[in-house]
Amino acid sequence: MRTVAACLATTAILVAAGPMPAPAHASPAPTAVSASADQTPRSTAVARAPLTKGKAWVAVSVATVWRSRTSPRKVDAPALANPVRIQTWLSRMTTAQRRALNGRADTQALLGDKVRIVKLRPGWAKVVVPDQPTPADSRGYPGWVPRRQLTATPPVAATTRATVVSRLGWLREDRAGGARTLRISFGTRLPVVGTTGSWVRVATPGGAVRRIRAAQVSVHAPADPALPQTRAGLVASATSFVGLDYLWAGRSGFGFDCSGLTSLVYRVHGVRIPRDASPQSRAGRSVGRVRQGDLLFYADSGGVHHVSMAVGNGRMVHSPRTGSTVEVIARSTPAYAREYAGARRYLP
């Protein structure tokens, strides 16, 4: 099974568990579907060089990384397309279907993220995601992604990068008054090819040039963090997602699980930490006196199963469980206080 990473309910008090539907498997290479709120009809698929083992890049706004090629169900077809229909997928799933992602999906990768292909099968690529550390594989987080969601074309060379720092942002055609083409997530990193007025011009995987509002991105050198490595900055980023629905395996501004939220927020602030809660609880350094930005862990007899971030004044922010949303609550909340297993610090 997956390393205990995304958030599970700690007790029956936290989750009203219902029966899960019997799994229905999607075909290995689902057909693309029509445009929706996720992208406009003017969206076009990126050009792709033939995929081979080795380096590749995510070519859709959010690629879900699946446990196996047979893990997706019929309801998951929008998440397998290019362009991916992430919002359509989320809106169509029932709470029970969202809960049943446990054991099927493990994480997500964002537009432009580098992966390494380790195996190719009809319609699918087994990848590792180097930017998401895990004890499961020293090369990066492992799983399966539809081939159509990857490109072998390297990113455009650029001296600066634009990282999305709003919850979501729209890419637009590269012209005045250009139409929306693709909605992308917080944490998405793309090469900068220029600026014009209040817009930043970026290159997408495959080389297409698009525009995004300057107010929605941080422009920085590739080796620099998109946002400052400060406690207050971490808290501001994490709490900006209050109200966002929980998503098992989620690691984007469309939905988070508990460790997806903490790991992506830290990444945007230039600190790489493990993807999952249990490995996060063994990284950094242990602290007794908790400060803003520290991660707090919760365990039962099965080990660490949940993570939150301290926000100060005795409160924490977290993405708790399927059927709930990102929230700020008191650290003394009984269901969590009785399972508290310590804190870790990743900043000086």
Q: What is the pLDDT of residue 38?
A: 64
Of 25, 220, 258, 305, which is the active-site residue? 258
- With beta carbons less than 8 A apart as the criterion, state whether 270 and 225 touch: yes
Tell me what the mean pLDDT of segment 61-69 comes to: 98
Of 7, 269, 305, 318, which is the active-site residue? 318
Q: Per-residue pLDDT for 341 more than 80?
A: yes
Active site residue 258: yes
pLDDT band at 206 (very low <50, low <70, confident <90, very high): confident
Of 7, 269, 305, 306, which is the active-site residue? 306
Strand order across the 199-203 sheet:
180-185, 168-173, 209-213, 199-203, 189-196, 161-164, 217-220
Active site residue 269: no
Q: Per-residue pLDDT for 204 more than 80?
A: yes
**Which pair of structure tokens corresponds to residue 48?**
């792709």
Q: Per-residue pLDDT for 10 more than 50?
A: no
pLDDT band at 187 (very low <50, low <70, confident <90, very high): very high
Tell me what the mean pLDDT of segment 291-305 comes to: 95
User: H-type helices in the chain, by residue range?
Assistant: 86-92, 95-99, 231-239, 258-268, 277-280, 334-337
Tell me what the mean pLDDT of segment 114-137 comes to: 98
Question: 118 φ, ψ to 5°?
Answer: -110, -15
Tell me what the mean pLDDT of segment 266-294 comes to: 98
CATH of the domain at 146: 2.30.30.40
236 and 190 fall within a common domain: no
**Least-confidence region, from 28-32, 59-63, 313-317, 340-344:** 28-32
pTM of the full structure? 0.88
**Which pair of structure tokens corresponds to residue 82?**
């290019």
Structural domain of 271? 231-345
145 and 180 fall within a common domain: no
242 and 215 fall within a common domain: no
CATH of the domain at 263: 3.90.1720.10
